[in-house]
Chain A
Amino acid sequence: MTAVSQRVGVPLETRLAVEDFLVDEALLLDDRRFDEWFELFTDDLVYQAPVRVTAKRGHEEIVDTIFHFDESKQSLGLRVRRLGTDVAWAEDPPSVTRHYVSNVRVTQADAPGELVVRAYVLLYRSRGDRGLHDMISYVRWDVLRPSGSSFQIARRRAVLDQAVLGTKNLAIFL
């Protein structure tokens, strides 16, 4: 387990602050406070979700030239503004979502003060009248930048755990 042995620890209080931040972020998403959620991102944001393929062992499983999300702060803002209109049918009535964030690992980034945060997310999504739900599982790498007494997200990379997505659209945020 190379990754584990190379882990550069951060102070316990840093890890707790990061975990609090992730929990707060999930709360904003699941409460649909998207305008406040949007403020968590830096202006130079890169927010991407690459596409997974089914491959033999030893071959590339993640294709990093095409994406499910490929966002800047500006384009993410457009998505948020769209949800604020009265014609965003795919999410009106909205999905009920619950972002379960776990397995958080915090390391120092190359840039001073920045942190690399790797976490698993299990996104529960329920909509409609059939008592059904989608479970969208992914791993997330964030680069957090200190901002005031908390952080901002400068990079987000979300790798979905399905080559063929089992949810009808990604009208929700990862």
Chain B
Amino acid sequence: MNIFSSADPAERLLASVQPEAAKIPAHIHTDPEIYRLEMKRVFGRVWLFVAHESEIPERGNWVVRDMGEQNVIVSRGEDGQLRVFLNSCRHRGMKLACEDRGTGKSWRCPYHGFTYNNSGNFVGAPYQREAYPEGIDREGLQLIEARCESYAGLVFATFNANAEPLDDFLGELRWYLDILVGRAEFEVVGVPQRWIVPTAWKLPAENFASDAYHTVTTHAFLAKLGLVKGVDFGKIGYHVVPAGGHGLGIGTQEEGPWYPAELRAEYESRLSLDQLALMDRIKNFHGNVFPNMSFLIPNVIEIAGKRVTGMTIRQWQPIAPDQIQALSWHLVEKNAPDWWKELGRKTYVQTFGSSGMFEQDDTENWELQTRNSLSSLSFDEPVLLDYRMGMGGVPMTDFAGPGEVYEGKYSEAAARGFYRRWLDLMLAEK
């Protein structure tokens, strides 16, 4: 079978991507036609993370982000409502906002001066009466707007009018997002770090969704430096496969709550008893919101007698089949004591993000996987990669949270779930 002889990229996928048989071909990461198709069928159809509400707290605040290939403005209007607009003037398609963020009631196109308020309405153009003596079609000049909904402070958007409500899209994952970012009022510290990584976007997404096993080898330095007791710090806990292609892993410890006691009351007011009980046992917590938003509470480590970690969310923003822009936000509980904020920020910078000691090694893997994915395109047969870990595992029946949950973190079930959702979207013409 020469799968690459088919002119139809969807046919090539159907013939080679087999999540339930635990076989995923390497070429799907970098085939330019598959990339074109997933920009439409994945990024064009599902909810995409665009911002945290704390980044635009005041009326008039806005930030510029990307949704797949669309550059958008995420704005809090004069009425306090969050809206997401294509960053493109209705006159000639020029960018309205050329900076990363700002505050104001309107955007004025640098090309011809068409101006829009932050509800997306056209409000005027220079010499309007002379240029358009017959009148101007204000309604037709409304900015192109995406649907925008939030969950626990996370702002998502989609240009798909037929997408299910965000709550349904997140589904079973919400129980876990409550723990991650719903447990307290969170704020983004500063702005996201951004950098270019020569990787296909699915590799980091899959890694955060499903891969606790790599920590033994990729991040072996942690044990070598004595920051954890053994290299198997990523083994004990749960592997979670919520419906919808999302995935997460929860590392656990039994030494009790690891966060400042001052935050306990706020957590109690926002979490169920089951969620709180799990919260107290967290050692690390990682996952991916399908398709490309990941989150992480890095392995809690002890520094100067204090247990610390530095939470992060990120977006793996595709910019080419073999390249992403990584956006990495650090978040902290708004009402946390100063020492927790300070140590959390330092720990985040040291472990993850652009210079993070963990992240460095991850980027190395993703880059070289991407290179081999590119080379696999020149074979007649697909290069099938093995995703069998945890096949035949029996889900727990006594776990409090929703989704398929497996005891122990070494599994690839969430990766199989990720590729199943991806394949379903890629094969669906509507």
Contacts and interface: CB of A to CB of B under 8 A. Distances in A.
Interface of A is mostly: mixed
B306 interface: no
A63 B197 contact: no
A53 B101 contact: yes
Which 5 pairs from chain A and chain B are nearest by CB?
Answer: A66-B190, A90-B360, A170-B355, A165-B195, A65-B190
Given A53-B99, A68-B349, A70-B345, 6 more contacts: A55-B99, A65-B189, A71-B346, A89-B360, A164-B195, A165-B196
A70 B195 contact: no
Contacts of B361: 88-90
Interface string B347-372: 00110011111011101110100000
Contacts of A78: 225, 350, 357
Contacts of B220: 85, 87
A167 to B, nearest CB: 7
Interface string B8-51: 00000000000000000000000000000000000000000000
Interface string A140-174: 00000000000000000000000111111111000
Interface in A36-84: 49, 51, 53-56, 59, 63-72, 74-75, 78-79, 81-82
B355 A169 contact: yes
A49 to B, nearest CB: 8
A91 interface: yes
B197 A168 contact: yes
B99 A164 contact: no
Contact of A89 (B194, B218, B356): B218
Contacts of A81: 225
A88 B194 contact: no
Contacts of B134: none
B121 interface: no
A51 B188 CA distance: 14
20 contacts: A59-B99, A59-B102, A63-B190, A66-B189, A68-B349, A69-B355, A70-B346, A71-B349, A82-B225, A88-B361, A89-B360, A89-B365, A90-B361, A164-B195, A166-B195, A168-B363, A168-B367, A169-B195, A169-B354, A171-B355
A64 B357 CA distance: 21
Contacts of A67: 345, 349
Interface residues of B, number: 38
Contacts of B193: 51, 66, 68, 165
Contacts of A90: 360-361, 363-364
A168 B198 contact: yes
A128 to B, nearest CB: 8
B183 interface: no
B191 A53 contact: yes
Given A53-B100, A85-B225, A165-B195, A170 B189 contact: no
B71 interface: no
A69 B357 CA distance: 11
B100 A54 contact: yes
Contacts, number: 114
A124 to B, nearest CB: 17
A85 B221 contact: yes
B200 to A, nearest CB: 13
Nearest to B197: A168
Given A66-B189, A171-B355, A85 B224 contact: yes
A165 B190 contact: no
A70 B221 contact: no
Contacts of B364: 89-90, 169
A166 B196 CA distance: 5
Contacts of B196: 164-168
A68 B346 CA distance: 10
A65 B196 CA distance: 22
Nearest to A49: B355
Contacts of B357: 78-79, 82
B221 A68 contact: no
Contacts of A65: 189-190
A26 to B, nearest CB: 19
A82 B348 CA distance: 16
B325 A164 contact: yes
A167 B198 CA distance: 9
A133 to B, nearest CB: 13
A169 B100 contact: no
Interface string A71-113: 1101100110110010111110000000000000000000000
A55 B102 CA distance: 8
A168 B195 contact: yes
B283 interface: no
Contacts of B354: 68, 165, 169-170
A68 B355 contact: yes
B330 interface: yes
A71 B354 CA distance: 14
Interface in B99-123: 99-102
Given A56-B102, A89-B364, A69 B349 contact: yes
Given A51-B193, A90-B363, A165-B195, A66 B100 contact: no
Contacts of A89: 218, 360-361, 364-365
Interface in B58-117: 98-102
A21 B101 CA distance: 40
B343 to A, nearest CB: 10
